[in-house]
Structure 1
Amino acid sequence: MAVKQQTGPESLIVLMIGFNPVVREGLQAILSKDPRITRVDDAADERQALQYIKSARDRGKPVRVVLTETRNDKVDGVQITRLIKEEFPEIAVLVLTENLNDSYVIDAIHAGAGGYIFLKDMTPDALIQSILRVIQGDAQVTTVLLRAAVENLLQNGRKTLAERTAEAAHLTAREVDVLRLMGNGDSNKEISANLNIGMDTAKKHVRNVIDKLQARSRTHASIIAAQAGIIGKQPITPLIEG
């Protein structure tokens, strides 16, 4: 499996898994234009992907980000995400979908995916930025896709709004504010600015929220925010805080 660009000290190795030829070629074209990213060939399935990840780690050039899709004839993106995160928790996984109402979004996030992207609305710059942000732990789920997935989830009775509201009930008022911003996709810097608090304080609040919700990641916490009905509430009034 050949690497398509020379790796440098800041290069991010990205592995793609199981995309159909049309989507794969489009992704390859986008990734090959950014010097910060080293793209490797598309792995056919989870077995080949895990073999490559282990080999790359042993060579001292570990995979940083995995791109996969929800499901096709060859791969199950949720299962791939779960396997990768169990064995290589340091790797960020971005799941791409062509279906706005894809019910797998919740399962993928619970499996450990760091982001979920709707292909139709994805620009080349948006993909690159998602890759760069997901390795920093920022949530990469568009609000429209998140809302559609949560609505689908609730309609099918897999989780009630009351259950998720109860999960978020033990947060402080400030932590609820932070969770709402996280659910809207804000970075730590944006949370700091919106709440008029320091960056260190913002990071502390984000960590506390994730820990209290027992979320697997920042993105998982965002899912809980949507299911608890926290996203999209009234604007937050900034408070002066250390």
Structure 2
Amino acid sequence: MSAQIHAFLCLQDNIGVLIHDPKTGECAAIDAPEEGPILAALAERGWRLTDILVTHRHSDHVQAVEGLKRRTGCRVVAPAKAREAVPGADLWVGEGDGVLVGTLQAQVLETPGHCADHVSYWFDENRVLFAGDTLFTLGCGRMFEGTYADFWRTLQRLAALPDETSVYCGHDYTLSNARFALAADPDNAALKDRAGQAEQAKAEGRFLVPTTIGAERMTNPFLRAGEPALAKTVHKEGAAPVEVFQALREWKNRF
């Protein structure tokens, strides 16, 4: 039996995610934005929280860690570079480490860009990536630390995962991301279709999470910085893709 995954809203626009192993009953929350919705989602599904997998140190991703651990006794897995921000973690992880949730195995990928301590969890056998605030549906995180070169390498790495990979991100920014993407890549037919899907999902109380690596490669301007159309939009014709990416991200900051 494959992994069971449930995504739901926390706070205003954070996305909570649970991944459950039906073989063992073990279940992990990806980050801990808000205790109430996570507990409600567990109760709705009849699942028991055994783990929290932290992607990065920002407060809207870790603020419910202590309460959930106290209430459930769950194990907390966090990036080694975020030790000071998640002092109650039981396991510190970095690049190449493995994490088990029951029989479900994740590989830890260090994915700096949004912040220096960011990691993502790649469940290869299930073709699922928990990308936190690194890669969003039709977007990417704002860069707070590091360099654009680091961030671009991270995004290229994620874009090289199999097209069918399901990508769960940390926020539902899809409509604002779609508006920017259309401004940056207005002739992209696949993007126009995806933006329409996002509008319909919002009207129906849904969100476009998960997305897939394949869909993002076709429609996400931040993964398409090597395309001439994106370079032209930001007046960087002939420039290196990382320069185009930087121009796009800085434009998005002002958009």
Check whether TM > 0.5.
Answer: no
Relative to total residues, which structure has the larger helix share, 1 or 2?
Answer: 1
With structure 1 as the length reference, what TM-score do the two structures score? 0.31
Between Structure 1 and Structure 2, the one with more strand by share is: 2
Higher relative contact order, structure no. (Cα contacts within 8 Å, ≥ 6 residues apart): 1
